[in-house]
DNA sequence: CAAGTTCTTGACTATCTCGTCCAGAACGTA
DNA sequence: TACGTTCTGGACGAGATAGTCAAGAACTTG
């Protein structure tokens, strides 16, 4: 029919994501996006629309990747559910610790910068949090059935608490809290979850 | 000696703070700052230096006000320490719930946007978090001495956990989590703190 | 009240930034 | 191969934006 696209859309989204991630929405220039993706501005506008539309694509892509990864890590049989929960909490703490440039999480950054004025960002963020809490709830419920956590507690409430701690770890990491502090919080959070 | 300033510095800082708070650092224009503060750009530059220097003044001012408020709310005699802790956690949850425009916390927003590239913001944020954890630690230690919390736990670790939950509440609020969810997390966090 | 100093205002400049546009390139189809 | 279509790259323009500057205002002190 016509000339096909010469770029890989996913690669362009990743490059654009890194720009927005590093500089924020307002701090990212369209020229930077063009340079980072290797596309001319004409191609960029033709393929994705304007800066805002591209940001939404990137943000949605990031949220989906992020929450899907969590889902995969948390789902599984009941008898290893508690282990998976522990691993997940530790993994988040380690990723915060490992992030020495304090790049943080694009979801946290994007929500902080844009959710107030951008309904699409707010909506996508809300869905991501809901998904995360659902995956945590399922995992915790599994651990309760397996007898590794007290069955008396509402799993959704515990999941909310864990989610808040994990989001808090991310925020504290941004704030430069030391590795030992981050790890201690993760340990303490796991320790206070009610056991049978 | 000379012509005195015709503006109230604290009022100017508050007006500038609201601009940065609403639009972020990169999203705030110097013209907006001038309009919001009522000062001409010359006065603004003369009194505070450039945009970045003004931002740092504002950010420091906000952090100080914020942490001082928490200190005042948490300090006091041991026998009411646990009550103060509960009140504080509830107050944070309620402030998140009440923030229907999702303006959030300037510290969270500023750290998310700037800490990565701006050493001064990173340093100030780290100090604020350290202060907050110290105040929480002192309050929790008081509650332990009064017999309202289990004395077996390290108060600094519990304080870290509480701080993470509070910062997490803020992040979840930005993400549009419902009031009931926010309040449930606050309740659950208080409920899992180990009692004697 | 005169002199000296600092503050104020807003016009101005130089640069940046978004988004458009077009000439040419690359491809499928007939 | 010739044609129609879509993609590409970058020059361009309109408007925004950070920071400067100069002329005058306001105040203190001698």
Q: Return the number of other C-beta atoms located less than 10 Å from residue B196's C-beta.
A: 10
Interface test with A, best of B26, B161, B166 (most A CBs within 10 A): B161
The answer, yes or no, to whether residue B6 has pLDDT greater than 90, is no
pLDDT tens, position by position, A25-46: 999 999 999 999 999 999 999 9
How many whole angstroms separate alpha carbon A140 and alpha carbon A154? 9
Chain A window 1-60, residues with Cβ within 7 A of nucleic strand C? 1-4, 6, 28-31, 41-42, 45, 50-52
Burial class (CB in 10 A: 0-12, 13-18, 19+), A182: buried
The answer, yes or no, to whether residue B66 has pLDDT greater than 70, is yes
Q: How far is CA A86 from CA A99, A193, B160, B165, in A?
A: 20, 11, 18, 17
pLDDT at residue B2, rounded to an integer: 73
Burial class (CB in 10 A: 0-12, 13-18, 19+), B26: middle
* Minimum CA–CA partner of B24 in chain A: A113
pLDDT at residue A1, rounded to an integer: 66
Mean pLDDT of A64-80: 98
pLDDT tens, position by position, B144-194: 999 999 999 999 999 999 999 999 999 999 999 999 999 999 999 999 999
* Minimum CA–CA partner of A176 in chain B: B126
Contacts of B102 in chain A (CB under 8 A): 115-116, 122
Query: The pTM is what?
Result: 0.95
- The CA–C1' separation of A160 and D10, in angstroms, is 50
The answer to whether the beta carbons of residues A185 and A172 sit under 8 Å apart is yes
pLDDT at residue A189, rounded to an integer: 98
Query: Considering CB atoms only, which of B104, B177, B184 is closest to A157?
Result: B184
pLDDT at residue A2, rounded to an integer: 75
How many whole angstroms separate alpha carbon A25 and alpha carbon A68? 24
pLDDT at residue A162, rounded to an integer: 98
């Amino acid at each position: 029919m016509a000339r096909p696209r010469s770029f890989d859309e996913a690669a362009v989204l990743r490059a654009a994501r890194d720009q927005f991630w590093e500089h924020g929405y307002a701090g990212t220039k369209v020229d930077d996006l063009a340079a980072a993706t290797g596309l001319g501005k004409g191609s960029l506008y033709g393929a994705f629309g304007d800066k805002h539309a591209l940001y939404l694509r990137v943000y949605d892509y990031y949220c989906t990747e992020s929450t899907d990864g969590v889902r995969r890590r948390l789902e599984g049989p009941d008898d290893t559910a508690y282990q998976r929960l522990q691993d997940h909490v530790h993994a988040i703490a380690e990723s915060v610790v490992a992030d020495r440039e304090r790049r943080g999480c694009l979801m946290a950054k994007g929500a902080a910068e844009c959710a107030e004025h951008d309904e699409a960002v707010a909506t996508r963020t809300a869905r991501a949090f809901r998904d995360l809490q659902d995956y945590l709830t399922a995992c915790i419920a599994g651990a309760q059935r397996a007898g590794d956590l007290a069955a008396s507690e509402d799993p959704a409430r515990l999941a909310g608490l864990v989610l808040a701690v994990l989001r808090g770890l991310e925020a504290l990491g941004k704030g430069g809290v030391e590795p030992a502090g981050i790890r201690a919080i993760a340990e303490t959070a796991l320790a206070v979850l009610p056991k049978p």
